Amino acid sequence: MMKVLLINGSPNAKGCTYTALTEVASTLEAEGIETELIHVGHKDIRGCIGCRKCHTTGKCVFDDLVNETASKFEESDGIVIGSPVYYASANGTLISFLDRLFYSTSFDKSMKVGASLVSARRGGCTATFDELNKYFTISNMPIASSQYWNQVHGNTPEEVKKDIEGCQIMRTLGRNMAFLIKSIALGKEKYGLPEKEPFTPTNFIR
């Protein structure tokens, strides 16, 4: 069965970000895709220290939620990252988690579908949205889109539910993501993954 991980980057387990994520999750499930929600924002997760130990062991040197999530990420067909907006940026704990998750995992992420969504009382959404999408574009992961930028507004879950357009955007995202995951599965079956050239790193120092 196809599966999508949903990452709640808010410290609040059932807050505004969670409310947006559940709109996406319920739509994915209605499309026959299994979902799992992982709460990250309340954890004590330190940032990457660049030790590169993961290059030899295959996992992060800090054995916490990052390593627990890595195997689930590898087995998933897609991932949705949700964050509240803090100073026009994502939650710092979430960024530490994502930096280590993407850097320490060597499995091929090609054609896993990525999506991000953000929640704010008022401003900073698009900057945060752009920040989160960069994890996908560096990993050969196509990004699921919606009818507008993936954002909801409100200071409480109840206010988010009153953001009728925002909730609709989340449901559209879920349907588009389900379609993309299913289409990629058919494409892989018929055509396989795109050919990859050997990685050629270039440092701009001569």
Architecture (CATH level 2) of domain 3-191: 3-Layer(aba) Sandwich (3.40)
CA distance 44 to 5: 20
CA distance 93 to 85: 12
Confidence (pLDDT) at 205: 75
Are 154 and 121 within 8 A, CB to CB? yes
pTM score of the predicted model: 0.95
Which of 133, 98, 93, 135 has the alpha carbon at shortest distance from 116? 133
Are 103 and 134 within 8 A, CB to CB? no
Are 44 and 100 within 8 A, CB to CB? no
Backbone dihedral region for residue 140 (phi beyond 0: left; psi -120 to 50: alpha; all else: beta): left
Q: From the CB of residue 59, how many other CB atoms can be counted at a distance below 10 Å?
A: 17
**Per-domain boundaries in the chain:** 3-191
pLDDT tens, 3-26?
A: 999 999 999 999 999 999 999 999
pLDDT tens, 138-172?
A: 999 999 999 999 999 999 999 999 999 999 999 99
